[in-house]
Amino acid sequence: MTASLGDVIEGAGPILNDEHEALRQRVRSVLAEIVLPHADSWEQQRYIPGAAWQALGAHGLLALPHDGPGFLESAVFCEELGRTGYAGLRAAVAVHAYMAASYLRLFGNDEQRRKYLEPAQRGDKVAALAISEPHAGSDLRNITTRATEIADTTDYRLTGVKAHVANGVSADFAVTVAITSPRTAGLSGASILIADLDGGEVRRDTERPLGFCSSGVASLVFEGLRVPAGNLLGKPGRALLQLMSGLDFERLIAGFLALGGARYILEVLGTHIRTHMVGDTALSGFQSVRHRLADLTGQLALVRQFAYFAAWQHSQGRLDTFTAATLKQKATDLELAAALACMHFHGARGYAEDSIPARLYRDAVAAPITAGVNELLKDLAFEAAGGSLP
């Protein structure tokens, strides 16, 4: 019996039910209406406009559950978001709806949630997450951004540079990590604050990454931005513990985004090898091509089952570091391998700067770096297994 790629990998065993699959179809329909007609222009302007955020919010897609059984809805959404084929879009939405929003949900008080989380869920405000710095990426011990208390007040003055900030071009606020203790350096004395970005004491320097073009990446240069004491998330000096509590969740989300991206790439490649002729023979008529696609499709099916197992673990409050790190690493490595094959089998056209395969490859190269570089995640997976992997 002949089956399509979708037939081969659809479903996730007993984990997903008919309601989840109905949600998948609704998400596809919404993304086809709101995103796909405009995604290329967003790539050119390098950010997502406010009307698109509000449209996603109006459909409830920026307020899906972060935990509990409802998280499986988010897993479906993130896979479909990746399947649009635009990694900049998926990164921007994930940072807004899952990463920045997660810290507000976990550590924000009622007033902070009312002022920031609820408008973000409606798409009325755009959120960014400002953690990395020019000399502090995967190793955050080197952060230097400081929030010093203003004399005779409990407010802070924020000074420093945050780099590679998705949504930095257009965000209304940024969940920001900064040193608040004058006697310590690095994360040991750091806190998480909400920085409003509409003041004159912050400069946005647009970055031009190779891929992820529509994610609105910018450096945020804080030049004494005043941050009210009421914008401190949780207790001061707790940034390290707060960040650690969210890392596995971020890797889980990144894994689902890359899973969807890999699937889209293989759909593009599958169509191409069936329709592109070499002489009188379609590309799919060559055994080496068939074997390459079969290997990648098999890997996709395996990673997808593992991803939904990880999502189920998280929905039960049982997600572990080994599973989250392994999923992110395997899914992003697969996406990169699929993108390379897609570009290769498109020949010279695939190498053209304005081609779809070239865009997919530029995006896929970044995926193993974001949310924790994969080499580091392999070390974490080994350590999480007690240093005694079989």
pLDDT-based confidence at 142, cuts 50/70/90?
confident
Burial class (CB in 10 A: 0-12, 13-18, 19+), 301: middle
Helix (H, G, I), strand (E, B) or coil at 202: strand
The CATH number of 127-237 is 2.40.110.10
Residues 6+ apart with CB under 8 A from 363: 86, 87, 88, 211, 212, 261, 339
The pLDDT of residue 4: 62
The CATH superfamily of 5-122 is Acyl-CoA dehydrogenase/oxidase, N-terminal domain (1.10.540.10)
The pLDDT of residue 301: 95
Alpha-carbon dihedral of residues 183, 186, 192, 198, nearest 10 degrees? 100
> What's the rounded Cα separation, in Å, for the pair 234 and 272?
52
Helix (H, G, I), strand (E, B) or coil at 290: helix
Token pair, residue 180, equals 């608040």
Note whether 130 and 165 are within 8 A (CB): yes
What percentage of the chain has pLDDT greater than the value 90?
88
The pLDDT of residue 164: 96
Residue 108 vs residue 139, higher pLDDT: 108
pLDDT-based confidence at 140, cuts 50/70/90?
confident
The model carries a pTM of: 0.95
Q: Which amino acid is at 210?
A: L
Average pLDDT, the chain: 94
The pLDDT of residue 388: 59
The pLDDT of residue 188: 80
Residue 181 vs residue 327, higher pLDDT: 327
**Fold held by 241-384:** Butyryl-CoA Dehydrogenase, subunit A; domain 3 (1.20.140)
Residue 184 vs residue 8, higher pLDDT: 184
Q: Which amino acid is at 47?
A: Y
Residue 7, pLDDT above cutoff 70 = no
CA torsion sign for 132, 138, 139, 140 is: positive
Domain assignments of the chain as residue spans, ordered by start: 5-122, 127-237, 241-384
Q: Which of 75-79, 158-162, 241-245 has the lowest mean pLDDT?
A: 241-245
Ramachandran assignment for 194, one of left (phi > 0), alpha (psi -120 to 50 degrees), beta (any other): beta
The mean pLDDT value for 102-130 works out to 98
Backbone angles phi, psi at 234, to 5 degrees: 70, -155
Helix (H, G, I), strand (E, B) or coil at 197: coil
Nearest CA-CA partner of 159 in 146, 170, 171 = 146
Tens-place pLDDT, residues 244-267: 999 999 999 999 999 999 999 999
> What's the rounded Cα separation, in Å, for the pair 285 and 290?
7
* DSSP labels, 94-151: HIIIIIIHHHHHHH--HHHIIIIIHHHHHTSS-EEEE--BTTBSS-GGG---EEEEPT
Q: Which of 123-127, 157-161, 198-202, 366-370 has the lowest mean pLDDT?
A: 198-202
Backbone angles phi, psi at 325, to 5 degrees: -65, -40
The pLDDT of residue 1: 46
Alpha-carbon distance values, 240 to 145, 236, 246, 376 (Å) = 15, 11, 10, 18
Residue 2, pLDDT above cutoff 90 = no
The mean pLDDT value for 366-389 works out to 88
Residues 6+ apart with CB under 8 A from 3: none
The pLDDT of residue 385: 87
The pLDDT of residue 136: 84
The mean pLDDT value for 39-64 works out to 98
Nearest CA-CA partner of 241 in 190, 288, 292 = 190
Q: Which amino acid is at 12?
A: A
Tens-place pLDDT, residues 187-240: 789 999 999 999 889 999 999 999 999 999 999 999 999 999 999 999 999 999
Backbone angles phi, psi at 201, to 5 degrees: -95, 20
Give residue 378's Cα distance to chain centre: 19
> What's the rounded Cα separation, in Å, for the pair 20 and 312?
13
The pLDDT of residue 386: 81
